[in-house]
A and B are shown apart, each in its own frame.
Chain A
Amino acid sequence: MDLGSSTFAPEVRQERKPVTEAALREAGVDLARDFPGATIDEFREYPVLSEGGWFIVIKHQPTLRTVSRKPWRLLGPVTLLTEGLDFD
């Protein structure tokens, strides 16, 4: 597409964080039992919006199987202008 003198605004990507063995253990995952052949590097943690609002999930990336799903902040990544306002 010819944009003439315009350019595309910069792209933004959602970071998917590596997870620790402790995080997988807390999620009740036994790699050998539950994901034979998988490595810890195949798991990532990131926020998602789904039924019920925002969650922080840990998923096995090749299969998208969720091993942990915890409710996140009510508005997810949005910080309201009033957030942190101290009425006391």
Chain B
Amino acid sequence: MSATALIDRDDDRIADAPAGRFGRSAKPLRDLTEAEFRGRYGSDQFTMTMLASRFRYVMKHMSTGLLNTAFSMILRDWYDFAATLSGPPEMDYAMSTGSDSMLMFMGTMPDGVRNTIEEFGPENLQPGDMILANDPYRVGLHVNDVAFIRPLFHQGKLVSFLAFRAHQLDIGGIVPAGFSATKQNVYETGLVISPTLIYRDNKPVKSAFNLIFDNARYCAMLLPDIKSINQALKLGEQLLAETIERYGIEAYLGAIRYSCDVAADAMREAIRTRIPDGVYEGEDVIDADGMDDRFAYKVKVAITKAGENLEIDFSGTSAQARTSVNCSPLDVKATVGVALKMLIEQDTPFASGAYRNIDIVMPPATICSATPPDGPVFIYWEALSAVFASVYRALAPVLGEDAVAGDFGSLMVHNANGLRKDGTPWVTAAQCGGEHGPWGASKAGDGDSYNVLQILNNIDPAIEAIESDTPVVVLRRDYVADSAGAGFNRGGAAVVKDTLWLSDAEHSTIGPMHARLPAGSGVNGGTDGSGQASWVFPPEAFDVAAERALLPVDPAIYARSEPMGGMFDPETKQADPNGDYVYFAKEKTLRTSPGTFLRYTTGGGGGWGDPLTRDPERVKNDVRDEYVSIEGAYRDYGVIVRGDPANHPEKLVVDMEATKQRREELIAARAA
């Protein structure tokens, strides 16, 4: 079989197998003879490994180029893009390589590139072209996440596709910057672009740019961003052309195939050895869509493992939502890939071959497989987070100590816009809500407390950058004591973020969507993290200048607030998992006046292992660092810490005798 032949599927596996007929394995790479290896990949193993590394270097180099030259904060400060390399049509667009950044972007591109190029027609491409597409049903994600694809030719023959999936600050639709859970159909989500030529002969296609800029806002930033993307793709093309020149086209294509086969081999082996045969079920809940709180939405998964194959069936998942909290099957595929990489296979880089032994069964028109025009997709990560949590929950019992606890599970993305005093518009997207929070614990240690969701992998915008672009002051990013799931390893702590708005503003309220069932599930004996919540404090509630203090976190302050979303005690307005549910989108657009505070508290990460086995010294350090209160140490860990953590944090001591007695009491209470 030549290096450019179709990627092995069942038929090839059958042909390679030594005996029997159906369901046989491909021969693992390590079992290939030198001649077989060269016959399959067109070169030796050392060259293949080196070229695979070279591809990753090219993706990183392209990404660094875009990160350094992008103008919009969503690319510049969030790293909301990914670069990928795919093979030619005769290799079925196999994706060998992705960059280090946005996982969902990478995971949707194997199919996104295929769907885009097959519709445009590979025969219609020529050197110097750039094609774009952004339709969630064709390429996944949402309309702002545009796929920019550059074909790579060698001696007149199409040999690869370099691509960026990159968030555009605006792409039209009814909400500036787009982030909204209340859009009701595809006509409201923004401009849908079917595969379209935007550069030809390395020159802009003016009509294509006009199509975008006649529909999108903030074009003064979009134009240089797209030029930066084009330049970074050209850089990648130049580096890969040099690679082909040096190593030859056969080795180059062989390395694309090799990279995919490495991922396939590793995932197949992980499936075979890490998960016992059987059927495992999990589910998660999304509180409501953006229409009203009449419906909650369930994501259900049944994972069947047989031999070296996985079948992941989402039957039983709720019908598609009435507003833009849906996602598409390509997004689900990417999420399943991330979950499995996190849980069972961390040894190889992600490539499209990782799915060779995985079949996803996805009934149509669910919240995870929405269809146009009335199944709008925009806030896709909320449904995906439920997919991720469902897979984690399904596999936790069989993975034992390899299970990983849930993360904060819902971004509560904040989006706002307004006008400056001089009349120029401002916009902020995904900077001032609950976008960053904790991960769950694992056998490796405590969960990190400030990150994006595990399915994303972006970076955190600097406060200085936010405040320079937007009339807002970020006054608090802090951890919430006793919010983390307890365990031998503790979950990450929830994050409380306060923002003070300096001018009139319109806010889109996107969550909480995991208030009813917190996403941070504990595993292996660990406990769950806390739920999420958000509040508005109107200007009269608290005056920072007059009080000469930050908005307190003292529980009494919430009586002055208006809960935005979550579970609350109706009297005190404090977050309360047993309280009343407050629907997040009761006001589709929240209008605030100067001096208003918004407060977001993320969910907490789940714990790993029995909290009563955590070293008391680690618990004392958690009290010192304000992850855990003295009361929480007593209640959740059975550890008696004495001292004053606020004023004398280094003088805390553990009362070992009292701790031993307390833990014995807790163990006896469990048995009873």
B-binding residues in A (CB < 8 A): 1, 3-14, 28-29, 33-34, 46-53, 57, 59-60, 63-67, 69, 74-82
Distance between B21 CB and nearest chain A CB, rounded to angstroms:
5
Measured in the bound complex, the distance between the Cα atoms of B91 and A55 in whole Å is: 17
Q: A12-B316, A14-B363 are in contact. List 6 more A-B contacts (CB 8 A).
A: A10-B318, A12-B365, A52-B92, A53-B111, A63-B306, A65-B23
Distance between B481 CB and nearest chain A CB, rounded to angstroms:
26
Which A residues lie within 8 Å of B110 (CB)? 51
Which A residues lie within 8 Å of B194 (CB)? 82
Contact of A49 among B304, B333, B371 (CB under 8 A): B333
Measured in the bound complex, the distance between the Cα atoms of B309 and A47 in whole Å is: 16
Residue B348 at the chain A interface, CB threshold 8 Å? no
Instruction: Jot down 25 A-B pairs with beta carbons below 8 A, ordered by A.
Output: A3-B516, A4-B581, A6-B294, A7-B295, A9-B297, A9-B321, A10-B319, A11-B317, A12-B366, A13-B315, A13-B316, A13-B363, A14-B362, A33-B21, A47-B362, A49-B329, A49-B333, A50-B360, A51-B110, A51-B354, A63-B306, A66-B10, A75-B137, A76-B362, A77-B362
| B293 engages A11 (CB within 8 Å) | no
Measured in the bound complex, the distance between the Cα atoms of B319 and A6 in whole Å is: 15
Residue B635 at the chain A interface, CB threshold 8 Å? no
Binds A, one of B113-121, B142-150, B608-616: B113-121
**Which residue of A has the minimal Cβ distance to B293?**
A6
**Which residue of A has the minimal Cβ distance to B353?**
A51
**Which residue of B has the minimal Cβ distance to A3?**
B296
Measured in the bound complex, the distance between the Cα atoms of B511 and A37 in whole Å is: 53
Residue B402 at the chain A interface, CB threshold 8 Å? no
Contact of B7 among A4, A5, A12, A52 (CB under 8 A): A52
Which A residues lie within 8 Å of B516 (CB)? 1, 3
Measured in the bound complex, the distance between the Cα atoms of B288 and A4 in whole Å is: 12
| B361 engages A14 (CB within 8 Å) | yes
Which A residues lie within 8 Å of B650 (CB)? none
Contact of B372 among A8, A46, A59, A78 (CB under 8 A): A78
Known contacts A9-B318, A50-B355, A1 near B517 by CB under 8 Å: yes
Contact pattern, B 321-357, Cβ under 8 Å of A = 1, otherwise 0 = 1000000111011000000000000000000111110
Which B residues lie within 8 Å of A14 (CB)? 313-315, 361-363
Distance between B11 CB and nearest chain A CB, rounded to angstroms:
8
Known contacts A10-B318, A11-B318, A53-B114, A63 near B360 by CB under 8 Å: no
Distance between A4 CB and nearest chain B CB, rounded to angstroms:
6
**Which residue of A has the minimal Cβ distance to B267?**
A51
Residue B300 at the chain A interface, CB threshold 8 Å? yes
Measured in the bound complex, the distance between the Cα atoms of B472 and A63 in whole Å is: 58
Which A residues lie within 8 Å of B580 (CB)? 4
Residue B188 at the chain A interface, CB threshold 8 Å? no
| B296 engages A7 (CB within 8 Å) | yes
The 7 closest A-B pairs by CB, nearest first: A65-B23, A77-B364, A48-B359, A9-B318, A14-B363, A51-B355, A13-B315
Distance between B502 CB and nearest chain A CB, rounded to angstroms:
37
| B371 engages A79 (CB within 8 Å) | yes
Known contacts A64-B304, A77-B364, A11 near B359 by CB under 8 Å: no
A-binding residues in B (CB < 8 A): 7, 9-11, 21-23, 92, 110-111, 114-115, 118-119, 135, 137-138, 186, 194, 264, 285, 288, 293-298, 300, 304, 306-307, 309, 311, 313-319, 321, 328-330, 332-333, 352-356, 358-367, 369, 371-373, 516-517, 580-581
| B358 engages A75 (CB within 8 Å) | no
| A11 engages B316 (CB within 8 Å) | yes
Which B residues lie within 8 Å of A51 (CB)? 7, 9, 110, 264, 352-356, 358
Measured in the bound complex, the distance between the Cα atoms of B257 and A13 in whole Å is: 35
Which B residues lie within 8 Å of A12 (CB)? 315-319, 363-366
| B363 engages A48 (CB within 8 Å) | no
Which B residues lie within 8 Å of A50 (CB)? 355-356, 358-360
Contact of A69 among B9, B296, B318, B373 (CB under 8 A): B9
Measured in the bound complex, the distance between the Cα atoms of B298 and A1 in whole Å is: 12
Chain A CB count within 10 A is highest, among B22, B135, B137, B355, for B22
**Which residue of B has the minimal Cβ distance to A30?**
B21
| B295 engages A80 (CB within 8 Å) | no
**Which residue of A has the minimal Cβ distance to B192?**
A81
Which A residues lie within 8 Å of B119 (CB)? 74
Which A residues lie within 8 Å of B138 (CB)? 75, 80
Contact of B300 among A11, A47, A49 (CB under 8 A): A11
| A63 engages B295 (CB within 8 Å) | no
Measured in the bound complex, the distance between the Cα atoms of B296 and A60 in whole Å is: 35
Measured in the bound complex, the distance between the Cα atoms of B304 and A64 in whole Å is: 8
Measured in the bound complex, the distance between the Cα atoms of B321 and A53 in whole Å is: 24
**Which residue of A has the minimal Cβ distance to B118?**
A74
| A46 engages B361 (CB within 8 Å) | yes
| B295 engages A6 (CB within 8 Å) | yes
| B296 engages A64 (CB within 8 Å) | no
**Which residue of A has the minimal Cβ distance to B294?**
A6
Measured in the bound complex, the distance between the Cα atoms of B316 and A11 in whole Å is: 5
| B362 engages A80 (CB within 8 Å) | no
Known contacts A64-B306, A79-B371, A6 near B296 by CB under 8 Å: yes
Distance between A19 CB and nearest chain B CB, rounded to angstroms:
14
Distance between B658 CB and nearest chain A CB, rounded to angstroms:
37
Which A residues lie within 8 Å of B369 (CB)? 77
Which B residues lie within 8 Å of A11 (CB)? 298, 300, 315-319
| A52 engages B9 (CB within 8 Å) | yes
Measured in the bound complex, the distance between the Cα atoms of B353 and A53 in whole Å is: 12
Which A residues lie within 8 Å of B295 (CB)? 6-9
Distance between A88 CB and nearest chain B CB, rounded to angstroms:
17
Which B residues lie within 8 Å of A49 (CB)? 329-330, 332-333, 359-360, 362
Measured in the bound complex, the distance between the Cα atoms of B288 and A6 in whole Å is: 9
| B365 engages A34 (CB within 8 Å) | no
Which A residues lie within 8 Å of B328 (CB)? 78
Measured in the bound complex, the distance between the Cα atoms of B118 and A22 in whole Å is: 32
| A9 engages B319 (CB within 8 Å) | yes
Measured in the bound complex, the distance between the Cα atoms of B516 and A78 in whole Å is: 31
Distance between B122 CB and nearest chain A CB, rounded to angstroms:
13
